A and B are shown apart, each in its own frame.
Chain A
């Protein structure tokens, strides 16, 4: 009983994987790249920064950087709270 359930599940997973493989883009063609193309074409004109990576990190995706800065702040908070007994 258990083995038959396992076999049926295996067949379903294999069928799903094979179907997904047929649906993939052809070899050598990248995945969806409309967003990247937009950044490369317009980042310099819109933000005025020559470094496209920085213009993405600090402008288009500022929320991500805000989270990273907050993570660092929280890390310092944790360190100082951890050593509060030892250091003063």
Chain B
């Protein structure tokens, strides 16, 4: 197919793009325990999608990576983020109403240096996930749009 790279690049891409995505989602989900967070993890996952687009060309990924789906995911992430900011409105905007509540993400953190518990942080992990979804979808939409535009511009020039 037009615009795709050599067999070596394709094989290596098949091997590693899943690991890149898993690592990115790990950074997103563990944002409240380890260095990183929504923005950084989202950028890592988007780099995996960028690798796919570069390797297989815009026509190769057209049937699998839909721009409308990513656009929807992006809007969902931003709406989720703002919604969880509004849920704390009983006290203030952006109030962390889930922290130390005992429910979802509500365990109190152990004070001091410790390996960390995933079920802590209140709204912080939820907002990490929301921002991560938004960033990964936004960067992927930008990459897909620009690759499609460059392809069409090349065809016009020829």
Contact = CB atoms under 8 A, between A and B. Distances in A.
Interface in A15-45: 44-45
B94 A59 contact: yes
Contact of B128 (A54, A79, A80): A54
Contacts of B74: 73, 76
Nearest to B137: A76
Chain B interface category by residue count: 35 or more
A interface majority secondary structure: helix
Contacts of B123: 58-59
A57 interface: yes
Contacts of A10: none
A69 B78 contact: yes
Given A58-B37, A76-B141, A49 B32 contact: yes
| Interface size band for A | 20 to 34
Closest 6 CB pairs of A and B: A62-B94, A49-B32, A49-B121, A48-B120, A83-B149, A86-B149
Interface of B: 31-35, 37-39, 71, 74-75, 77-78, 81-82, 85, 93-94, 96, 99-100, 105-109, 111-112, 114, 116, 120-125, 127-128, 131, 134-135, 138, 141-142, 145-146, 148-149, 152-153
